[in-house]
Structure 1
Amino acid sequence: MIFDCKASFSSHKKVSFTRLQATPQIRMFSSLACCASRAALHVLKSATRPSKPAKIPRFWHQTLAAARLPTVGGSAVARQAQVLDHKRLLQVEWDDGSYSFYPFTWLRDNCQCPLCMLQSAQARRLLLTDLDVHTGMDQVQISENNKVSITWPDQHSSEFEPEWLKKRCFSPEARQARQEELFLNEREFWDSGWQIPMADFEEVLHDDKAALVWLLALRRVGIVYLKGAPAEQGQVAKLSQRIGYLRLTFYGHTWQVQDKPMANNVAYTSGKLSLHTDYPALHNPPGVQFLHCLQQAVQGGESEVVDGFHMAELLRREDPEAFNILSSLYVDYTDSGSDYCDFNVQSKNRIIDVDSEGRVVRINYNNATRDSVLDLPLDQVQPFYSALKSFVELMNRPENMVTYRMEPGDLVTFDNWRLLHGRRHYSSGTRTLRHLEGAYLDWDEVMSRLRILRKAVHGER
């Protein structure tokens, strides 16, 4: 059963959204309210919580709420600036009594004058070969228009807007807040009790506020379900134009998921697909995936997803040795055949990728394309298999998996670096062949559009 609702938020236009009725087999999706405000992330949190208190551990958070950029009434006012020659730092005191410190070399490297900066491209003109990394500072003052004005030993002059400087403060709190503002690294972990956020396809295409909340949700929770797309080919390409452009792979700009004779990919069969990420046979797998249902099978074909970041953190807690193995050993992947063109791809990827701080940033796992070549010493082979088995068993626990059935016109968008997705076996009738159209994008393009939309909707820099 499908029903429509209306939701309104004060000071925002009324927008429609849809929810699927839960069944014993299919998990209910939550509504994604396509509103836009400076509290968009807060709205999203409320919209995606299950009805019962979630028993989901939060392992790492990096939030603007915890570390905001220092501001004074929405604008920065520099009270005074002082040269600390012995530390080679410029100290700026702000109107609220706080201080920021800036290295001489960094200030000279980032001079904003037309000789040093191409303003039309916001790109540095100053060559590093012309930068004196041991420069001193002759004079500094606060100008009448509240700019920080510096004269260098070679008599070159630089002026800095106080807000520009304050956003680039080197304090741990300001750096953390700026990185979160730029990259939105906070994640909301989930399990089978969670409800997938949903938005309207047409609203996302034509309304900046709806598109912004869609991409914020995609970044934060990893998957958003769009309803109302025409059940015809070309919609994933149309949606990609809302962001920028599709990523071309050996399977084409878009690809058709159907049961095909002499299939060149296990996805092009009617059998069960185990939980996986797409394309770990590439050293840089696509970041985002679109799947649009054109025709569903008569029986079966339900989709399954798990939160790979959550699963990795659970593995780290339950089996630290297995986590260390999967996050340190490189596994060979391979993919060969002919589609958009002939291909013979080979890669080495860690199944759990972590950054320099130990945070999980990407899952690379596809059992179908995991190579028979295993470039490991003999004594590491069995521990590797045991670790991988533990990870796969963890993600296949019913309490960790969300199952749903796509119908014609449904379009799911998800984070291919984070989610593992699968599909149950299906049977098609002679006139109803299951057909999905898929496409890939990279996170660089998606984040670019998100920042542009955020600026358009909220005026944020």
Structure 2
Amino acid sequence: MFHVQESPAKVFATDAAGTRTELPALWLRERCQEPESLDGPTQQRLFNPHQLDADLALVAAEHLGGHWARLTFSDGHTGRYDLRHFADDFDQEDGLPTPRPWNSDIDFACITRDWEALSDHDAFREALETYLRHGVIILQNVPTDGARLVEVGETFGHVRSTNFGKYFEVCSRPESNDLAYRSVPLAPHTDNPYRDPVPGIQLLHCLTNETTGGLSTLVDSLAVAEQLREEDPEGYRLLATVPVRFRFIDDGVELIERRPMIHLDAMGKMDGVHYSPRLDYLPLMDEESTKAFHRARRRLGELFAHPDYEIQFPLGDGELMMFDNNRVLHGRTAYDPNEGFRHLQGCYIDRDGPTGHYRAIVKQARPHQATETTESVTAA
């Protein structure tokens, strides 16, 4: 809710918790909305707000009724404001669905969708929302002829090429350059923590699976990290602040990156991990910190593999799982290649693909929704 005070001129915002904040004059001035200041189609400014006077003041505020106000500033600028536009600044999720942490009790049906149905606009929007809430979606009936996962990837975002190629084949190859291409078990991990930037989203498409083993595994780091934070706050802090060195070696390339194992976003909120015990190196610290770091790291791994958090399932022919590579860890149980052929294809897309599509779809739907009530703005 926004409140326009006319004497003395002030504008206030009140959040859902009832906290009232006065909006600074500079904050208001750079958000002016008239056509000579803001380009309509792009919503990009036609002036440079960095050049505004730091001592700028709000000298007049007039509530025009509904959600409109006229504001006048000490630099002589007067503008008509639609105060509803300010709401985006107070949305901590920036227009996205709130993430919903999950454990092994998750209803598999709630994250499973039919690929063929996503040609419908509403079904695609709902699939995007499902993915953004849970960090994973499983698509059924994805054709197995050729690299169809690239088509899926381009539907949700843009496929990113790496040293593994635009997409890669996951099957047993004894002399491969990564353990993913063997039949050994793979503990829960995130891909490519040694890369900058880390691939944001991974797609794995099962073309054929003739083995009884090779179960796919998934675990939500949001739920696990919260458990660790409750058990060991200091260990959690170390994993979230101390950079770890990750390294990968291949013919013609050596990739090294340093980053904390627990990732905090720009607002300080935990949104994923960088975790791969095959590729990380214990950072150099004093003896006490080293032991505390290791205890937290070991406990994190125990929780990732715990049946309370990890789900295991066979990924069948024509099924594709798409998951946030930092939020949702994946793995695989061992399998016997002599039983039959197990062949998956994988690729990566950036995290801003699904988020960008979702925001655009929601924005397009807004003109068809009921207008907001005028009670969201008050005056005095």
TM-score grouping bracket, smaller chain normalisation: 0.7 to 0.9
Q: TM-score, normalised by structure 2?
A: 0.85
- Residue of structure 1 equivalent to 2:163: 250
- Residue of structure 2 equivalent to 1:161: 82
1:78-157 superposed matches below 5 A: 82-84=6-8, 89-90=10-11, 101-142=22-63, 147-157=68-78
Q: Is residue 360 of structure 2 the alignment partner of residue 452 of structure 1?
A: yes
1:179 is paired with a residue whose SS is: coil
Q: Is residue 285 of structure 2 the alignment partner of residue 361 of structure 1?
A: no
Identify the match of residue 101 of structure 2 among 189, 196, 201: 189
Shift of residue 139 of structure 1?
A: 4.0
2:241 is paired with a residue whose SS is: coil
1:182 is paired with a residue whose SS is: coil
**Structure 1 stretches lacking a partner, 5+ long:** 1-69, 71-75, 94-98, 170-174
- Pick closer, same or farther for the CA change 1:283–1:383 going to 2, 3 Å: farther
Q: Do the aligned partners of 2:184 and 2:334 also contact (CA within 8 Å) in 1?
A: yes
Give distance in 1, aligned partners of 2:357 and 2:52.
Answer: 34
Give distance in 1, aligned partners of 2:67 and 2:287.
Answer: 67
Shift of residue 83 of structure 1?
A: 4.7
Give distance in 2, aligned partners of 1:245 and 1:265.
Answer: 24
Deviations 1:282-331 (A, max 9, x none): 24322221110011142311111112111111122233343233223221
Q: Is residue 176 of structure 2 the alignment partner of residue 263 of structure 1?
A: yes
How many positions carry a matched residue from both structures?
Answer: 363
- Pick closer, same or farther for the CA change 1:226–1:103 going to 2, 3 Å: same
Q: Is residue 342 of structure 2 the alignment partner of residue 434 of structure 1?
A: yes
The one-letter code of the counterpart of 2:117 is: E
- Residue of structure 2 equivalent to 1:331: 244
The one-letter code of the counterpart of 1:346 is: I
Question: What CA RMSD, in Å, does the superposition of the two structures yield over aligned residues?
Answer: 3.0
Shift of residue 233 of structure 1?
A: 2.8
Shift of residue 457 of structure 1?
A: 4.6
Give distance in 2, aligned partners of 1:154 and 1:203.
Answer: 55
Query: Higher RCO, 1 or 2 (CA under 8 Å, sep at least 6)?
Result: 2
Identify the match of residue 280 of structure 2 among 360, 370, 381: 370
Shift of residue 154 of structure 1?
A: 4.3
The percentage of counterpart residues that share the same residue type is 26
- Residue of structure 2 equivalent to 1:344: 254
Shift of residue 122 of structure 1?
A: 0.8
- Residue of structure 2 equivalent to 1:381: 290
1:346 is paired with a residue whose SS is: strand
Q: Do the aligned partners of 1:283 and 1:348 also contact (CA within 8 Å) in 2?
A: no
- Pick closer, same or farther for the CA change 1:353–1:214 going to 2, 3 Å: same
Give distance in 2, aligned partners of 1:454 and 1:168.
Answer: 13
1:388-427 superposed matches below 5 A: 388-427=297-336
Q: Do the aligned partners of 1:82 and 1:91 also contact (CA within 8 Å) in 2?
A: no
Q: Do the aligned partners of 2:149 and 2:203 also contact (CA within 8 Å) in 1?
A: yes
Shift of residue 458 of structure 1?
A: 5.5
The one-letter code of the counterpart of 1:130 is: Q
- Pick closer, same or farther for the CA change 1:450–1:136 going to 2, 3 Å: same
- Pick closer, same or farther for the CA change 1:286–1:306 going to 2, 3 Å: same
Q: Do the aligned partners of 2:264 and 2:272 also contact (CA within 8 Å) in 1?
A: yes
Shift of residue 436 of structure 1?
A: 0.8
Q: Do the aligned partners of 1:331 and 1:375 also contact (CA within 8 Å) in 2?
A: no
2:125 is paired with a residue whose SS is: helix
Give distance in 2, aligned partners of 1:129 and 1:192.
Answer: 50
- Pick closer, same or farther for the CA change 1:162–1:266 going to 2, 3 Å: same
Give distance in 2, aligned partners of 1:92 and 1:348.
Answer: 40
Q: Do the aligned partners of 2:172 and 2:337 also contact (CA within 8 Å) in 1?
A: no
